Every structure is written in C-alpha cells, then in structure tokens.
Amino acid sequence: MANQPLILLASARKESDTAAFVQKVFQDTPHTLLDLLDYHVGPYRYENDYPIEDEFLKLIDQLLQHQVIVLATPVYWYAMSGGLKTFFDRLTDLVTVQKSLGRQLEGKYVFLMAVGADDALPDGFEVPFKLTAKYLHMQYGSSLYASTQELETDIYHLGNHREFLREIQDALQ
C-alpha cells in the first residue's frame, strides 16, 4: 500500500464533481481512496472524550500506511469543505494526546486536489495545507485544480494532470 497514493476525498456528497475529478486524474494510477463520508469523525474536543463510534484514529491508521496523501476537496465559500476542516481540526489530537501517531506523519508527502466554480483556486486557499504540512514535518507537494466549467465540458489540462501525477510518483520513490 505504501507504494501507492492514498486519496482522502472530502466532498459533501458521493457523486460529486471532486469525486469525478479524482476518478479522471487517477483512472490509470493505482491508488487507495477513502471517502470521509464513510467515516464518523466528530469535531475536535478539548476534553478528548470522543464517542465510541468516532473513527478518526481508524483514518489515521490508514493514512500512516502510505507515503503520499492526496487531499481532495471542493471549494466551499473560498475554503476547504467542512468535512475536511473537521478532519484538520482533529489533527490537534496528533500533537497532544496521540503524539506517537503524529510523529509518524513526519516525512510523508501531501498533495491537494480541488474543484470550484472559479477559474483558479482562491487566493490563500493552499495556506492551511502548506502550513499544516510544515507543522507536522510533512512535505507539501503541489495542487491540482479544476473548475466546474472544465468538468462539465470535459476539458482537462492534461499537461497539468501528468505533471501532478509525476510529482506524486517521484514522492513515492
């Protein structure tokens, strides 16, 4: 598993533009796909008293098996999806009560895929991804963006996709 990227899909619906984008880009590339909709991840709690059905640590265990993590999110109100934001908030657990797990993220690579209505990612969109990767001693690779217009007309920047996949393959080496 470590020799293929793990994609964490963070859309609010199963049949999303982001899911279609991931499918298109990775159609010929072996990968592991985890959909946040399939997991119960509650909001961060300072008391660290999560319900028994909380699956954040289960997700982390799967992430730790991979050298490359691709975060795939729609752009909602100029930011990542609420589900991914909740996941990011829960990363706090990995620098407080689950430090041994958090330390295992060091050196792993993070890439970003996003889909939104605008022609380009909003200014500052990548900042939380880059700074979170830096804080956790991970390597931030790059991002790949598609507008919903591109998806609707099936116009893809194939050169960008190939370069993105090449960077991921390089990170797996």
Contacts of 12 (CB under 8 A, 6+ apart): 37, 74, 76, 81, 82, 83
Domain for residue 23, yes or no? yes
Q: What residues of the chain score a pLDDT lower than 50?
A: none
Domain for residue 22, yes or no? yes
pLDDT at residue 87, as a whole number? 98
Domain for residue 47, yes or no? yes
Number of domains in the chain: 1
pLDDT at residue 149, as a whole number? 84
* CATH code for the domain in which residue 68 is found: 3.40.50.360
Domain for residue 168, yes or no? yes
The pair phi, psi for residue 143, each rounded to 5°, is -125, 155
pLDDT at residue 159, as a whole number? 65
Domain for residue 1, yes or no? no
Domain for residue 101, yes or no? yes
| Residue of 160, 162, 30, 168 lying closest to 111 (CA atoms) | 168
- 148: domain range? 6-172
Q: Are the beta carbons of 46 and 20 closer than 8 angstroms?
A: no
Domain for residue 90, yes or no? yes
pTM: 0.95
pLDDT digits (tens, 9 = 90+) for 137-159: 999 999 999 998 887 776 555 66
Contacts of 16 (CB under 8 A, 6+ apart): 9, 74, 115
Q: Count CA atoms within 13 Å of residue 168 on its CB side.
A: 28
Domain for residue 29, yes or no? yes
pLDDT at residue 151, as a whole number? 76
| Residue of 62, 107, 59 lying closest to 84 (CA atoms) | 59
